[in-house]
Structure 1
Amino acid sequence: MGQILTVRSRGIDDVERVWRQFVPGARLERADPRDISFSWSSIEMPHLSVVSYELGASVHSSVHVDEQLMACRVVGDDLRIEAGGRSIDPRRPWAASDSTTEAHWTGSARVRALVFDRSDAERVARIATGDDRLVLRRLDPAPRDRDAATQWERSFAHVSSSLATVHDDEILAAELHRHALLTTLSTFSTPYLDAVERARQRTAAPRTVRRAIAFMEEHAREPLTLEDIAAASGISSRGLQHAFRRALDTTPTEYLRRVRLSGAHHELRVGTAVSVADVARRWGFSSASRFARYHRDHYGQNPAQVARMF
C-alpha cells in the first residue's frame, strides 16, 4: 500500500528532483553546490506523503502548493522562514497552502513534512464537521500556539515511526492518515477549526446509532475511520460522538474496538488463527500486547488461553 523511498546523494540536482516528485511547486532558488550531502526518506500513501530529509548545503528554497496541503518543520543554522512576505517563527512548524513560502539556511538543515492531497483532505474535513461546503483555503502558516506546535511535532514522530512498520496495513494506515490530517488542521487556524466551532449537533435519533452499529459490524475488518462511520450514518462525526455518548455512554471508536475485539475472540475460539499476533493485526490492533490487555479486561482471559482451549 505504501511506497518507501530512500535517497543518498551528493548532487544538488537530486534534491529538487526528488522533492518535486512529492511537491511539484518546490524550487531550489539558490544553493551552494560545494560539499553537498543529501539524505532522504519518505513514505508515500494514497493522499498522504510523510517526508524526512537532511540537506548539508546553504540553501534558499521556495514552495507553492495548489492541489496539496503541506505542514513542515525545518531545523537548521541561521534559519529564516517567510510566507506571503510574513516572517514565521523558525522554531515551530509552518503550513503551506495558497501563498509561496520561502526558507533560507546556511550549513545544513533537517526537514520533516506531511503532504496531503487537498481534495481528499476536504472530503475528510467535511465529514468530520458536517459542513458540506468546507474548503481548505486561507490556512494561517503559523501554528495557533506553542502547545499546538508541540502536538504537531509529536504527531509527526508518531505517524512517521508507525507507518514505517505498518504502511502495508490498510486499517492502521488509514487511522494514522486521519490522525495526521486532523492534527495538522487543528494546529493552524483553518476553516476546519471554524467549522468545528460552528458544529453544535446535539440531537440524533437512536436510529442513527443503530445504523452506525450495523455499519461497524459489517465493515469491522476494513480500514474504517470515524468519518466513514459518520457518513454511513448520515451525520457528522461530531454529532455521532454525541449520539453514542447519550445512547450508550461510549464513543463510536470505543464501540468499534469492542466489535473488533468480539470478532477476534470468535476467530481464536474457532481455531482458524495462525497466531494471536496474527489475529490482532487482522482485526486492526497494532500491538499484540495491547490487544491482549483489551481481551483480558473484557473476557477475563488472555487470548492465548482461549486459542489453546479450542
Structure 2
Amino acid sequence: MGDVLTVNATGADEVETVWQQFVPSARLEHVDPRRVRFRWSSIETGAFSLVQYSLRADVRSSIHLDDQIMACQLIALDARVMTEGQPIDARQPWLTGDSPIQARWSGTANVRAFIFDRTSAEQVARAVSGEDRLVLRSIDPVPRDRALAVQWERSFGYVASALAVGHDQPLVAAELERHALMSTLTAFSTTYLEALDTSAQRAAAPRTVRRALAYIDAHAHEPITIDDIAEAAGISTRGLQHAFRRALDTTPSQQLRTVRLAAAHRDLQHGGDHVSDVARRWGFSSPSRFARFYRDMYGRNPAQTARMF
C-alpha cells in the first residue's frame, strides 16, 4: 500500500525536513524564511515516489543523487536550471545524472517529480533490455525531443491521477510504478536505450512460453509485472514479448489482462461487490477502461453481469 503525505507549511525548517525525507542527497542551499510558503503532496510505494509541491521562496537548490533517480519538472516564471555550468531549458522536464543539477527561482514554483530507487530501477531495466550488467545512468539530462517531453508530462499526469485513487491496490500501484519508470527511461537518453540497441535476445522455445503462462495463472492476483513473468520464464522481457508473438500472437501484457478479466468475471458472477471495487482488485485503475476490456471479451458491460447474479 502507498504512503500518502500532505504538508502545508510556512516554516523553512519544515520545508527542509520534508525535502530531505524524499531526496536525502539533495539540499536547499537558501530559503528566505520571510517569504516561504510550502504545499507538498506525495505518494510513496516503497521503491518509487510521486511528488508534487508548490514552494514560494527565494530558493537555490542542488541535487546530486546516489541511490535514487529523479525525473523532475520545475514550473516557475524565473526558474533557472544548470548542470556542469551549462543551462538546461527550464521549461522541459529533466533527469538527474552523474553531475549535480542546480535550480533556483524567486517567487512561486510548482514542482513535480518521479523518484525511483536506483537498484530497483536497474533491475527492471536489466530485465527489459536483457543486459544483466546494465548500469543505469543518464547520458543527457533533457528529453530526446519535444514530443517525448510532452509524452512524459502526460504520463506524469496519468500516473498522478491514477495513483491518487489506486495507491492502496498493490496490482494497480505496481503497474503505475512500472509505467512511470518506462516512460522516463524512453523519454531521456540513458544507458537503458543503448542496451536495447545492442543486447542480443535469446531464442525462446515453446517451453518458455508455457512457463510464463503457468506463472501468470498462479500469480495474477499479485502485483506482478511483465518483468517478473520474464524472470520466471528464464528470458528477458523483450525475448518474452517476441516469444508470445510467435507462439500465441499476443503479448504477455494482454495475456495477464485476459487472466485478470476472467478472474474479475468470476467475482462479478459471485455478486456482492461493486464493479469498481472488482476492477481495482484485479489491477484496473480506470473503471471505464475495465468496462471496455470486459465488453470486448464478454460482449456485455460488467454491470450487466453483476445484475444477473
Question: TM-score normalised to the size of structure 2?
Answer: 0.95
Which letter maps to 1:178?
Answer: R
**What is the count of residue pairs matched by the alignment?**
309
Mapped to 1, the partners of 2:297 and 2:138 lie a distance apart of 46
Contact kept in structure 2, 1:6 and 1:40, CA below 8 Å? yes
Secondary structure of the equivalent of 1:53?
strand
Q: Is 1:301–2:295 an aligned residue pair? A: no
* Cα deviation digits, residues 78-122 of structure 1 (max 9, x gap): 211111222111110111132111001122211111111000111
Which letter maps to 2:145?
Answer: D
Contact kept in structure 2, 1:53 and 1:112, CA below 8 Å? yes
Which letter maps to 2:288?
Answer: S
Q: Is 1:281–2:280 an aligned residue pair? A: yes
Secondary structure of the equivalent of 2:142?
coil
Which letter maps to 1:190?
Answer: T
Classify 1:143/1:292 alpha carbon distance in 2 versus 1 (closer, same or farther; 3 Å): closer
Mapped to 1, the partners of 2:137 and 2:304 lie a distance apart of 53
Classify 1:211/1:60 alpha carbon distance in 2 versus 1 (closer, same or farther; 3 Å): same
Match of 1:48 in 2: 48
Contact kept in structure 1, 2:58 and 2:105, CA below 8 Å? yes
Contact kept in structure 2, 1:66 and 1:97, CA below 8 Å? no
Mapped to 1, the partners of 2:25 and 2:235 lie a distance apart of 36
Contact kept in structure 2, 1:64 and 1:98, CA below 8 Å? yes
Of 39-48 and 274-283, more deviation after overlay is shown by: 274-283
Contact kept in structure 2, 1:152 and 1:187, CA below 8 Å? yes
Secondary structure of the equivalent of 1:61?
strand
Mapped to 2, the partners of 1:146 and 1:302 lie a distance apart of 39
1:140-159 mapped onto 2 (5 Å cutoff): 140-159=140-159
Contact kept in structure 2, 1:95 and 1:139, CA below 8 Å? no
1:202 to partner: Cα distance: 7.1
1:38-77 mapped onto 2 (5 Å cutoff): 38-77=38-77
Mapped to 2, the partners of 1:142 and 1:136 lie a distance apart of 16
Classify 1:76/1:287 alpha carbon distance in 2 versus 1 (closer, same or farther; 3 Å): closer
Contact kept in structure 2, 1:202 and 1:243, CA below 8 Å? no
Classify 1:134/1:268 alpha carbon distance in 2 versus 1 (closer, same or farther; 3 Å): same
**In percent, how many aligned pairs have the same letter?**
60
Contact kept in structure 2, 1:81 and 1:101, CA below 8 Å? yes
Mapped to 2, the partners of 1:285 and 1:273 lie a distance apart of 19
Match of 2:252 in 1: 252
* Cα deviation digits, residues 35-57 of structure 1 (max 9, x gap): 22111111111111111111111
1:102-117 mapped onto 2 (5 Å cutoff): 102-117=102-117
Classify 1:308/1:33 alpha carbon distance in 2 versus 1 (closer, same or farther; 3 Å): closer
Which letter maps to 1:291?
Answer: F
* Cα deviation digits, residues 205-255 of structure 1 (max 9, x gap): 111111111111111111111101111111111111111111111111111
Contact kept in structure 1, 2:162 and 2:286, CA below 8 Å? no
1:273 to partner: Cα distance: 4.3
Secondary structure of the equivalent of 2:181?
helix
Secondary structure of the equivalent of 2:76?
strand
1:128-147 mapped onto 2 (5 Å cutoff): 128-147=128-147
Which letter maps to 1:288?
Answer: P
Structure 1: gaps (5+ residues)? none
* Cα deviation digits, residues 263-307 of structure 1 (max 9, x gap): 2222333x2542333322222222333323322222223333334
1:162 to partner: Cα distance: 1.1
Which letter maps to 2:289?
Answer: R
Mapped to 2, the partners of 1:309 and 1:167 lie a distance apart of 31
User: Hey, which bits of structure 1, 4+ residues long, moved more than 4 A?
Assistant: none
1:160-175 mapped onto 2 (5 Å cutoff): 160-175=160-175
1:175 to partner: Cα distance: 0.3
* Cα deviation digits, residues 125-154 of structure 1 (max 9, x gap): 111111110111344212211112111111
